[in-house]
Amino acid sequence: MFLSFLSFELRYFLRGWMVWIFLLVMSAMIFGAVSSDNITIGGGLGNTHRNAPWVIENFYGAASILTLLMTTAFVNNSAIRDFQYNTHQMIFSLPISKNGMFLGRFLGASLVAVIPSLGVSIGSLLGRFAPWADADRFGPVDWAAHFNSIITFAIPNTLFIAAILFGIAALFRSTTISFLSALLLLVAFGVTDSFASDLKNETLAALIDPFGSRAFDLTTKYWTVFERNTRSVGLTGLLLWNRLIWVTTAFAIFGLVLRRISLSERASKKTKPVEADVEKRSGSVALPSRRASWTGNVALAQFLGAFRFELRNLIKTPVFVIILSAAMLNCGASLILTSSEAFGNKTFPVTYRMAQIIQGTLYIFLIAIVTFFAGQLVWRDRDERTDEIQDSLPMRDWLLYTSKLSALLVSIFAILSTTIFVGIAVQAFKGYTRFQVGLYVEEILYRDFTLMIFLAVAAFFFHVISPNKYIGYFAFIGFLLFDALGWAAFDVSTRMVNFASRPSIAYSDFYHFAPDSPGFEWFTAYWALFCCLIAIASIAFYRRGKETAWARRSRVAGQRFQGGLRLATFLAAFAFLATGAWVFYNTKILNTLISPKEQKQRRADYENTYKKYENISQPRITAVEYQIDIFPEKRGVEMRAKQKIRNESTQPISEVHFTVDVQHDTDIRIDGATLASDDKRLYYRIYKLAQPLQPNEERTMAFTVKGEQHGFSNVVERTQFVQNGTFFNNQIAPQIGYQAGGEMTDRNDRRKYGLKEKDLMPALERNCVEHCRNTYLSDSSDWVSVDTVISTSADQMAVAPGSLLKEWNENGRNYYHYKLDKDSMNFYSFMSARYDVVREKWNGIDIEIYLHPEHRWNVPRMIQSVKNSLTYYTKNFGPYYHKQARIIEFPRIATFAQAFPGTMPYSESIGFIADLRDPENIDHVFYIVAHEMGHQWWAHQVVGANMQGATVLSETQAQYSALMVMEKEYGRDLMRKFLEFEADRYLRSRGAERLKERPLEKVEASQGYIHYQKGSLVMYYLKEMIGEDKVNAALHQLIDKFAYAPPPYPTSYELVDRLRAQTPPEYQYLIKDLFEDITLFSNRATNVTARKLADGKYEVTVEADIQKLKADAQGNEVEVPVKDWIEVGAFAKPEKGKKFGKTLYRERLLVDTRHITKTFTVAELPEKAGIDPFHLLVDRTPDDNTRKIDLK
Amino acid sequence: MELVIRGLSKTYPNGVRALDDVDLNIPRGMFGLLGPNGAGKSTLMRTIATLQEPDSGEVLLGSLNVLTQKDEVRRRLGYLPQDFGVYPRISARGMLDHIALLKGFTKSGERKDVVDAMLQRVNLWDVRKKALSGFSGGMRQRFGIAQALIGSPELLIVDEPTAGLDPGERNRFYNLLSEIGENVIVILSTHIVEDVMDLCTSMAIINKGKVLFSGAPEQAIETLAGRIWQRTVTKAELLDIEQRHRVISHKLIAGRPLVHVYSDADPGDGFIAAHPNLEDVFFARIAGTGLSAEAGN
């Protein structure tokens, strides 16, 4: 019985087209993802092979979500086929066993449902044969990975989904309910997703993810490129548990359902049959003979009535209610829960973040609602067979279309309005009272709602012209996909063809939406008029009656196209063309629009044409005098400068080369020089000097850089220049010589454009002189004096580097004269905004915070951090040479803080909005300020030569400096928490390395995870081992020798050697492990016991395994013998609300075996003990270092 | 007022010729449109109800051109399709109110009067708040006629309205129709011959898109006077009889076939003269039994 049902099911589906279409779709998607960079599923791959075992397993995991709906289609069909085709009475009257039938069908459908996911294997096996695929990025085929993926993902996930949905389908016998349940499963997946972002819940999140992807992520999160390329995970560990849990759950549900369902016919419960008393009053009432008067505004009244009717119908639909509940649940929960910024910290629920959360969590549902209900609404009358009655009623032809569209849009509008209320309520609940209702309205109800209108009009249009609902859905979704992805494939970047797209900029409290505003509005008008036209077409072709043939419908459309509709068409068409012409004029003529391909081509050409000049002798800048006028209202700037250039080489220089700014007009004047070459496409100029610049000769050159916004552009450009919050640096000035920074860095792009592989930085060398003439930040200057007169509009304040010498008002503009107190790096910013300034003093140094008047929350923390930093750094490293330390807030265009000489621009969206009220959290405002203050020594006094390891002298030391200031302020426990985050980020980032993981002393400037995260871990560990004073002594020596010193600049060896000199003999191995090698540990407490002694103390025994590993650049790790000093320790139970308990014991042991046993005595009841309890070492699995104590 | 149909033809994309040069004059009163399944009745009715575009021909309602002045026609139209559905989750009154609005009753008080009176008239008052989707076939059909009658249409089209109704419901339905009076054009399509006989003052028979007869029912029967003969046969004889005579119908009476044949003179073989009825006309016409030449208007 069972077998015959099973084989029938298999044959039934395998003969059909559905399974093969799904397999084809899946194979094609994976084929695309594997062979091309333009299609991505999951995150970036870096150096990982495109067909690496890890990638295959990831794809299989992701595919489970994609195949969910496919599986639903199979099992739903199996479970309710008999009811759909009305064969149930026939089948169920046969002598069959219920269990045999359901199990047979279920297994048959499930097995077939596994087939589409095999497309992952097909796609990834074929991917390398794509003509555009890059053979270098493929490794050997790893069959084990395919096998493992199938048994860990494809089969269990399909069984899980199938069991649940088969059960639901068999119970409810409704396709709609089946698919809705599938959608709910997807939502449930999304909810576990938000849990997983919190570090503490990782294991739990891995177990509660029904598809196992998260368990896989957790298992492999610290995998290196090498491991990703060679290893695959089968049914083991966390993944096994996850699979067991979910497959068991699914079968339990299936079993329960099986017991509940019966084969008997069921009365429809949906609507109760009603019977009227037929004979009562029959004939006693006269037939009403009233006729409609057709007076007044009948059309309007009919429209309002029909609209109400449609709206009521729509919001009563169960599907609508269910999607909406899921959406509101998702959005509401996120509004309440999402608050983390960096290091698990909270931010204030500022309005733009609430809007962001609403967009991120709600809009996918809204698009689903628009997509689904556009089809439902257009086709409902025909689906429910009310069309014949309705269509013969004397209503206007536009009535059905407009009332349905309005019903959909009004419901969307109501949902959006509701989320605004929820957002405001959440803000109030969190004690945040700066409600920006206007911003909510503008962002959500204008900017986003108009997009929904555009989408809805398009969706309706596709359904109106489609012969049936399914083609309508298919066409609309296809259109959306093409609109989102397709244009890039044709290298078309103008928004004029990219439906509903508009140039936009993220809101900032500084400028609201001002920088995008003319463009955004004109594009909105453009698309609105376009939508008017397709709406008119939809009305003309809206199906009324039974006619399906296009010729007939066109004739009807012609009849409708009269009077008002015709007039509206001409007006809309005219306005659309006029707007289009205006948009075209602004985006293509007033502004240039360069396609992404052309942009890359230019970078390639720049390199090919001018790289030959990279090493020619060029003069160096020694002093600059600026006169800068900022025109915020027209987003304009005019920078006039005189700069001294000097020949510091030994040869005369007869040509000066410049790379000029792309977005500004540059005029360069050098006495006696002629413009020999001016490449307007690649922005490269060569000036010939009539009188060559002799060695050590200095001359003055002048330049003017000018620009302002003309009209509006296709994308919002020049975002440094805004109506309020201008923030630009001196790199808009002409840069002397070839700029290697303009080269393409992506390996694949480089190969595609025929460029040879780029070694990011020159190799580290000892005793270097010639190669150390430049810092890694500049190749055309050393220490430069800067004098600036800067002006801005009367309502704004402008800031330039150095002390403010004079301030005046002239021609209704504010003028400021700044001068650097100490020659610095030629790298600084200029800013202008309507600032509030908070001033304090520390030992004669002005501490100034320039900020948006409404962002005062964390100013005291910032000032405190500046003071503490100045105190610590001047005491331990050396003097501070500027007379001021400024923190200057800039708009949300970017999210970073940066250090320039004496000034630290700091983004509106970090720090300024951090919620620091919980003292258990890491005060990252304090941290970031301390880091940037650290740069005043590390980068702006001592700066590395342009070679590997340069950033160890700047970023790593700024990290170390900040750690010390933080530890003094907040204590050790918070440092532990901070370093846990650093370790996590370091270990995770290794796997995504695109090039080679370098040891710390050879870090590339682009390897942030090494110079920041690993740098923190290394420096803190070294400080723990050899002591803070020793580390600081080495750093002080470095400052003494290299602060503001002329070239050659120091390399990382200068630091490492000094640290080595400070390190006692027994710890010498550390220098090699930490700086020269990539060293990791995998330490684990295996058994931890304690027993109470007679005197009330406790004897603790810790057994632990120690594993020391060295990794190569690809992450290939080999175990090495251990001979290291490692701590053991024990902690008491943490107090309520605290993360860490009191340290009861801490001892450093010389460990030279793979397994140790250590016994010690503690005074109080211990809770946890273990090896390396403070996570000082870089440990691949830090969680198992300590264990709960077994009290004997 | 009269509904005039001239040269109406319609061929579906799949090649089916649904209307083939149909000419009809339909006066006020009840007009029966008789034809077997698939004869083109529904196509004809939908075309008159502005729901379908013919390939050629014209339809005039008085001075209105049905094919171009659709809105004007719809204001005068009541249409009960052969097969219609209802929205889920909506009450009889809610739906009727919606239809009344679309029929031009824009003032809510006026609309309420009309809807309530109509609900009482068709005996749905007690269930007015119940979901339409739970209605029985008879109640649903009463709802259907109620919506068609709202606004006192001058042209009422009812397409196979009694299919699936029990005899009681069918009688009540026809009582309601007959009440509408002589001043309205009522087109009733059906394949049940008695309905036409009982109700209609004029009629047409169509088959395969062609009008085979149009006129008064009595006139139709008259054309067969003396030409219909009947006999009860055994099943074994049937084949033989069918070969030798122009059989227009046979049906089982108490388990034995009763055969009607067409013959201008006594066909012999034990056939006796039968009183022709409309059913004979119907079968004779659609069987094309030598009468097409006589089928005049």
ipTM of the complex: 0.90
What whole-number distance in Å separates Cα of residue A761 and Cα of residue A885? Answer: 32
Interface test with A, best of B71, B75, B102, B135 (most A CBs within 10 A): B102
User: Among A737, A774, A776, which residue's Cα sits nearest to residue A613?
Assistant: A737
Average pLDDT, chain B: 86
% of chain B exceeding 70 in pLDDT: 96
- Residues A830/A628, Cβ–Cβ less than 8 Å: yes
Q: What is the enclosing helix (H) or strand (E) of A1080? A: strand A1078-1081
Between CA A546 and CA A219 the distance in angstroms is: 60
pLDDT at A859: 96
Query: Are the beta carbons of B134 and A274 separated by less than 8 Å?
Result: yes
- Per the CB < 8 A criterion, the answer to whether A313 and B90 are in contact is yes
Q: A559: nearest CA in chain B?
A: B68
Q: Tokens representing A891?
A: 């708009």
**pLDDT per position as a tens digit, B168-214:** 888 888 888 887 867 899 999 887 888 888 888 899 999 889 998 89
- Ranking A129-143, A1166-1180, B122-136, B153-167 by mean pLDDT, the lowest is A129-143
Q: Cα–Cα distance between A998 and A493 in angstroms, integer?
A: 38
Q: Residue A310 to residues A315, A383, A457, A1034, A1080: CA-CA distances in angstroms? A: 9, 15, 16, 77, 65
Q: Which of A815-824, A980-989, A1118-1127 has the lowest mean pLDDT?
A: A980-989
Give pLDDT, residue A102: 83
Of the candidates A271, A39, A268, A239, the one whose C-alpha atom is nearest the C-alpha of residue A156 is A239
> How does pLDDT run across A826-884, given as a tens digit for each residue?
999 999 999 999 999 999 999 999 999 999 999 999 999 999 999 999 999 999 999 99
Residues constituting chain B: 297
For chain A, the residue count is 1192
pLDDT of residue B280: 83
Task: Say which residue, A875 or A130, is predicted with more confidence.
Answer: A875
- Which of A802-811, A1029-1038, B249-258 shows the lowest per-residue confidence on average (mean pLDDT)? B249-258
Confidence of residue A446 (pLDDT cuts 50, 70, 90): very high
Phi, psi values for residue A451, rounded to 5°: -60, -40
Residue A281 pLDDT: 46
B64: tokens are: 């209105």
Tokens 């088969």, located at residue: A166
Tell me chain A's radius of gyration from C-alpha atoms.
Answer: 35
CA distance B203 to chain A (A): 24
Look at strands A653-659 and A735-736 and give their pairing: antiparallel
pLDDT of B276 strictly over 50: yes
Chain B nearest CA to A291, separation (Å): 4
- Contact by Cβ (8 Å): A693, A649: no
Which residue on chain A is closest to B55 by alpha carbon?
A: A552
Strand, coil or helix: A845:
strand
Least confident segment among A87-101, A481-495, A684-698, A1015-1029? A87-101
Determine the pLDDT at residue A452: 97
Percentage of chain A beyond pLDDT 90 is 59
Return the biggest CA–CA distance within chain A. Answer: 119
Query: pLDDT tier at A344 (50, 70, 90 boundaries)?
Result: low
Interval A466-490 mean pLDDT: 85
Rounded distance between C-alpha atoms, residue B24 and residue B59, angstroms: 9
Neighbours of A132 (CB within 10 A): 9
Bigger pLDDT: A201 vs A350: A350
Is residue A944 helix, strand or coil? coil
Average confidence (pLDDT) over A620-634: 96
Is the pLDDT assigned to residue A896 strictly greater than 50? yes
Q: What is the pLDDT of residue A274?
A: 60
Q: Enter the DSSP assignment of A294.
A: -
Q: Place A250 in a pLDDT band, splitting at 50, 70 and 90.
A: confident
B27 to B2, B61, B201: CA distances (angstroms): 5, 10, 9
Answer yes or no: are the C-beta atoms of A720 and A728 closer than 8 Å: yes
Enumerate the residues of chain B whose CB falls inside 8 A of the CB of residue A313. Answer: 87, 89-90
Residues of chain B found within 8 Å of residue A292, distances taken between Cβ atoms: 75, 103-106, 151
Q: Torsion-angle region of residue A627: left (phi > 0), alpha (psi -120 to 50) or beta?
A: beta
pLDDT of amino acid B249: 83
Q: Which two tokens stand for residue A1105?
A: 């395994």
- Smallest Cβ–Cβ distance between B121 and the set A272, A287, A392 belongs to A287
CA distance A1126 to A1081: 11
Query: pLDDT digits over A202-238, tens only?
Result: 777 788 888 888 888 888 888 888 888 888 888 888 8
SS3 at position A45: coil
Q: A808: exposed, middle or buried (C-beta count within 10 Å: 0-12, 13-18, 19+)?
A: exposed
Q: In angstroms, rounded to a whole number, what is the distance separating the alpha carbons of residues A243 and A222?
A: 21
Among A288, A309, A316, select the one facing B118 at the smallest CB separation: A288
Chain A residues within an 8 Å CB radius of B90:
313
Tokens of A24: 């084809």
Cα A742 to Cα A733: distance, rounded to the nearest angstrom: 15
- Calculate the average pLDDT of chain A: 89
Q: Quick one: CA dihedral B58, B59, B65, B67, positive or negative? A: negative
From the CA of B103, how many Å to the nearest CA of chain A?
A: 6
Residue A94 sits at the chain B interface (C-beta within 8 Å): no
Question: How far is A741 from A758, CA to CA, in rounded Å?
Answer: 12
Reply yes or no on whether the pLDDT at A271 is more than 50: no
Give A387→chain B minimum CA distance, Å.
Answer: 8
Where does the pLDDT of residue B22 fall: very low under 50, low under 70, confident under 90, or very high at 90 and above? Answer: very high
Instruction: Give the tokens for residue A365.
Output: 């549902």
Q: How confident is the model at residue B292 (pLDDT cuts 50, 70, 90)?
A: very low
CA A517 vs CA A101, A120, A440, A711, A716: distances in Å: 64, 45, 16, 10, 9
Average of pLDDT values for A484-511?
90
**pLDDT: which is higher, A335 or A843:** A843
Cα pseudo-dihedral A267, A271, A277, A283, rounded to 10: -130
pLDDT of amino acid A401: 96
Of the candidates B98, B123, B150, the beta carbon closest to that of A282 is on B123
Mutate: best of A388, A395, A565, partner B, most B CBs <10 A: A388
Angle at B138 between CA B96 and CA B125, to 5 degrees: 45
The nearest CA of chain A is from the CA of B213 a distance in Å of 27
Work out the pLDDT band at A643, boundaries 50, 70, 90.
Answer: very high
Tell me: pLDDT of A28 over 50: yes
If phi > 0 it is left, if psi is from -120 to 50 it is alpha, else beta; for residue A816 that is beta
Cβ contact, residue pair A545, B89, below 8 Å: no
- pTM of the predicted protein model: 0.84
Task: Return the C-alpha torsion angle A435, A437, A443, A449, nearest 10.
Answer: 140
Per DSSP bridges, beta strands A636-646 and A620-631 are antiparallel
Which of A890, A843, A851, A888 has the alpha carbon at shortest distance from A867?
A843
**A682 pLDDT exceeds 90?**
yes
Four-CA torsion B225, B231, B237, B242, nearest 10 degrees: 10
Phi, psi of A791 (to 5 degrees): -130, 155
pLDDT reported for residue B297: 34
The alpha carbon of residue A556 is apart from the nearest alpha carbon of chain B, in Å, by 8
Q: In sequence order, what are the beta bridge partners of A627? A: A640, A789
Say whether pLDDT at B277 is over 90.
Answer: no
Residues 6+ apart with CB under 8 A from A308: none
Q: Which of A389, A394, A548 sits opposite B71 (nearest CB)?
A: A394
Q: Where are the alpha helices (DSSP H) in B122-192?
A: 137-149, 167-179
CA atoms within 13 A on the CB side of A365: 29
- Between CA A1043 and CA A938 the distance in angstroms is 9
CA-based radius of gyration for chain B: 21
